[in-house]
Amino acid sequence: MNIVILTGRLSSSPRASELPSGTVRWNLELSCPDDQGRLLGVPVSWEGDVSDAWDTGTELVVCGAVRRRFFRSSGATQSRTEVIAASVVEVTARRSARQALDRALRAHPDPLAAALRSAASVAA
């Protein structure tokens, strides 16, 4: 299964790009701590709504899948590995990271998300 759960902070403001189909894709850069406390930059692609309040430092929980995409730029084929978000939820003063994770998992369309929700509730 290809399911990713991230929690981290935006390292830059969300950037919108319009696809030829007219769909707006948001590019998010999330700084996520690894198990040794180092911050790792993770590119996230999101086709949902983005709050005007999201800016550098906003804490988010992201559920999705890893994808490597190929594209042509300046006459050369390039690739980018990114997380394609199925759900993105902001962590706020009223919504803890745990609550944001629960909400993000409820919104995730993959059947494995139900198993993840169950495992998360046992771990709590």
pLDDT tens-digit profile, the chain (124 residues): 788 889 999 999 999 999 889 999 999 999 999 889 899 999 999 998 888 889 999 999 898 889 998 888 889 999 999 999 988 888 886 777 777 777 777 776 666 666 665 555 544 4
Task: Report the C-alpha gap between 52 and 55 in whole angstroms.
Answer: 8
Task: Report the C-alpha gap between 12 and 57 in whole angstroms.
Answer: 8
In the block, residue with structure tokens 């894709």:
25
Alpha helices (H) in 1-124, listed in sequence order? 97-107, 112-123
State the helix-helix crossing angle for 112-123 and 97-107, rounded to 10 degrees. 160
- Structural domains of the chain in order of their starting residue, each with its CATH number: 4-123 (2.40.50.140)
pLDDT for the residue 105 = 73
